[in-house]
Amino acid sequence: MTVTTAGTARPARSRARSTGALAVFRRALRSPAGLAGFVIAVVVVAAGLLAPWLSPMAPEATDYANPLSGPSGLHLLGTDELGRDQLSRVLYGINASVLVGLASVVLAALVGVPLGLVAGYFPKVDRVISQLVDVMLAFPNLILAVGLAAILGPSAMNAAIALAVGAVPGFVRLIRGEVLRLRGLDFVSSAIAAGNTHTRILWRHILPNATSTLLVQISVAIPHAILGEAMLSFLGLGIRPPTPSLGIMLAGAQQYIETAWWLAVFPGLAIVALTLAFNLFGDALRDALDPKGRRR
Amino acid sequence: MNVLDVRDLSVEIPTETGHVLAVDGLSYSVGESEILAIVGESGCGKSVGVLSLLGLGPEHARVTGEVNYAGQNLLTRKPDALRRVRGQDIAYIFQDPMTALNPLMPVGKQVEEVLAQHASMSRAERRARVVELFELVGIPAAAERARAYPHQLSGGMRQRVMISMAIACGPRVLIADEPTTALDVTVQAAILEILKDLRDKLGMAIVLITHDMGVVADIADRVVVMYAGRAIEEGGIEQVFRRPAHPYTRGLLSAVPVPGQRAARARLRGIPGTVPVIAESVDACTFADRCGRADEACRSGRPPLAEAAGGTRVACRHPETKESNGE
């Protein structure tokens, strides 16, 4: 508490749960699943981001002496058909997946949040935006991403864009709903009555109160994007070989599935770990933001 | 000289089940540094009436009439011009200080926001002004309190913050919509005292919306009694309390306990029935159905506001003439 002087500064009514972004985050870490998810996510993401320093070999370096060799002291996770080190490739693959995943979510939020704000605040604009969002939602997300990636051409950036397009409607809907809720609250009415401009009200009063919800949406969207990236690369629509990507590695592992299990298992585990960790943490965040016990 | 002059204000609100006429030809004016109370039951249109003055009423509401402020009719002004009037010339205080502050922003910052919007001041000047304002409304340890979040303050303190926010830009009219309803009785008295004090110091006019006759008696100079969207009685505080002419005003006053009266005489009486919801302006007295003395004349023509014997202006065909204490 910052207020230390006695007397008039008693907490008026104990708020059951704070909905500030930081408080929600802390509460999410208090649940075992949330903590586990957070720790795994941090470890895996860090491993991916530090791939250039952690990986024992260059991911594209071939070792023709040891093609398709199982896990050993030299190659901890084995090698593929060209003798490339699996450990290094998995680390770089995580790196690529996380970067594409994050980029697509950030992109989707950058487009979706302003649209949602405007849609929730100005009923006339809302008609147009909501119609567009409905149209977009009519297409299954992954089909949309595949189609877009095919049109844009295979590259990491295009994969991120294709995945972002599919994620935008989720952000628009969510933020629009939050704005509709917040707009009816007294402090927004009183900000309007005090003559504040719409821009100021949206940025200073409404958006900050929507951040915790936004945080949850972001943490839920990340695993989707990571899976989506793996899928696009698997189909040859995402990152281009020889750059390692978890999806590409899985695609390559298909033909050796009976002889070289390690080719499919380790990239697969990496994908599972990433998505599971983000999902666990995202769920914990959502629980921490649960309206039960929360003042509406 | 009147600061605010409302002429024939009507507010029609479309709803799913048809139109509701929330305010029906309401006229009143507020003089320089005068405290005018608008009194009535819930649903009589008092809040909608004042919110509509600055385009803050319900969405899609049709507002007609004239709202004259500083020589201009506010109802015909563009939204952006209206926005500039809000907070700067005419400020509002809302009923529930618990929810009227942004929970994620320190209270001082919220007052600064209003200053940043309307006044060209540097950040340091704004900070200094906030402390000044907090001291003016009786917030102790003002500089420290400015950094507190709303949940760290009591209801009374929050209402003081709301008041300081409303007076930040030195408005000429302060509209307070049930400013004490959500507060304890003791805090209520303190807030009313602050409002009175501010009126004396800053010379602004105050329009006070309330359903509480006690609050009215405490601080108002003049009263407008509203019923079903219309003004039914208007007058100086003395006159209305001593010789209320409208049966409804009389009913309201006799529903308030008066300490010191003998139990038998002090029996509280309610008014039978409820406030009707009006769809369109009817050519009759809207109170007739709940009134003991209503007759054909009441049901066949809208009674005009006219001078009554007690010095108030009343919209009734059969006004009381006796003093209310004599009952």
Pairing label, strands B205-210, B35-39: parallel
Q: What is the mean pLDDT of residues A278-292?
A: 79
Instruction: Tell me the Cα Rg of chain A.
Output: 23
CA of A10 to nearest chain B CA: how many angstroms apart? 6
Q: What is the mean pLDDT of residues A31-49?
A: 86
Dihedral of CA atoms A72, A73, A76, A82 in degrees, nearest 10, equals: -60
Label residue A5 by pLDDT band (50, 70, 90): very low
pLDDT tops 60 at residue A15: no
CA of B178 to nearest chain A CA: how many angstroms apart? 14
ipTM: 0.81
Q: Whose structure tokens read 């006070």?
A: B208
Residue B162: its chain A contacts at CB < 8 A? 190
Residue B156: its chain A contacts at CB < 8 A? 8
Label residue A114 by pLDDT band (50, 70, 90): very high
- For residues A150 and B10, give the distance between their C-alpha atoms in angstroms, rounded to a whole number: 60
- For residues B228 and B44, give the distance between their C-alpha atoms in angstroms, rounded to a whole number: 5
pLDDT tops 70 at residue A168: yes
pLDDT tops 50 at residue A14: no
Residue ranges in B107-208 assigned as alpha helix (H): 107-118, 123-136, 142-145, 155-166, 185-202
The answer to whether A203 faces chain B, any CB pair under 8 Å, is no
A19/B94 Cβ within 8 A: no
Helix axes of A32-49 and A86-121: crossing angle, nearest 10 degrees = 120
The answer to whether A10 faces chain B, any CB pair under 8 Å, is yes
Q: Which residues pair with B35 in a beta bridge?
A: B206
Instruction: Identify the pLDDT of residue A105.
Output: 93
Sheet with B205-210, edge to edge strand ranges: B90-93, B173-177, B205-210, B35-39, B222-227, B230-236, B313-314, B306-307
Q: Per residue in A227-245, pLDDT tens?
A: 888 888 888 887 877 778 8
Percent of chain B residues topping a pLDDT of 70:
94
Residue with the bigger pLDDT between A83 and B79: it is B79
Given a contact cutoff of 8 angstroms between Cβ atoms, the answer to whether A274 and A41 are in contact is: yes
Instruction: Identify the pLDDT of residue A194.
Output: 86
CATH superfamily of B2-89+173-314: P-loop containing nucleotide triphosphate hydrolases (3.40.50.300)
What mean pLDDT, rounded, does chain A reach?
A: 81
Given a contact cutoff of 8 angstroms between Cβ atoms, the answer to whether A197 and B83 are in contact is: yes
Given a contact cutoff of 8 angstroms between Cβ atoms, the answer to whether B167 and B133 are in contact is: yes
Given a contact cutoff of 8 angstroms between Cβ atoms, the answer to whether B6 and B25 are in contact is: no
pLDDT tops 50 at residue A9: no
Percent of chain A residues topping a pLDDT of 90:
11
Instruction: Identify the pLDDT of residue A283.
Output: 84
- For residues A205 and B92, give the distance between their C-alpha atoms in angstroms, rounded to a whole number: 18
CA of A170 to nearest chain B CA: how many angstroms apart? 25
Q: Which of A247-251, B96-100, B188-192 is modeled with the greatest confidence? A: B188-192
Q: Which residues pair with B227 in a beta bridge?
A: B230
pLDDT tops 80 at residue B325: no
pTM flag (> 0.80): no
Q: Per residue in B17-51, pLDDT tens?
A: 888 888 888 888 898 889 999 998 877 888 888 88
Q: What is the mean pLDDT of residues B118-130?
A: 88
- For residues A134 and B84, give the distance between their C-alpha atoms in angstroms, rounded to a whole number: 37
Residue A189: its chain B contacts at CB < 8 A? 56, 94, 100
Residue A208: its chain B contacts at CB < 8 A? 102, 104-105
- For residues B6 and B66, give the distance between their C-alpha atoms in angstroms, rounded to a whole number: 6
Q: What is the mean pLDDT of residues B126-146?
A: 89
- For residues A291 and B300, give the distance between their C-alpha atoms in angstroms, rounded to a whole number: 54
Q: What is the mean pLDDT of residues B305-315?
A: 81
pLDDT tops 60 at residue A16: no
pLDDT tops 60 at residue A294: no
Instruction: Identify the pLDDT of residue B185.
Output: 83
Nearest residue in B to A203, CA atom: B113
Q: Per residue in B221-257, pLDDT tens?
A: 999 998 888 888 888 888 888 888 888 888 888 777 7
Q: What is the mean pLDDT of residues B293-306?
A: 83
B85/A187 Cβ within 8 A: no
Helix axes of B155-166 and B185-202: crossing angle, nearest 10 degrees = 20
A194/B117 Cβ within 8 A: yes
Where does CATH 3.40.50.300 sit in chain B?
A: 2-89+173-314
pLDDT tops 70 at residue A17: no
Given a contact cutoff of 8 angstroms between Cβ atoms, the answer to whether B71 and B15 are in contact is: no
By Cβ distance, the residue of B87, B104, B153 closest to A194 is: B87
CB contacts < 8 A, A to B, total 112
Task: List the structure tokens of B182.
Answer: 């959500």
Residue type, A1: M
Q: What is the mean pLDDT of residues B52-66?
A: 85
- For residues A65 and A43, give the distance between their C-alpha atoms in angstroms, rounded to a whole number: 32
By Cβ distance, the residue of B84, B99, B104 closest to A195 is: B84
B154/A8 Cβ within 8 A: yes
CA of B101 to nearest chain A CA: how many angstroms apart? 5
Q: Per residue in B180-194, pLDDT tens?
A: 887 888 888 888 888
What mean pLDDT, rounded, does chain B reach?
A: 84
Pairing label, strands B205-210, B173-177: parallel
Instruction: Identify the pLDDT of residue B260.
Output: 63
Instruction: Identify the pLDDT of residue A171.
Output: 92
**Percentages (nearest 5) of helix, strand, coil residues in chain A:** 70, 0, 30
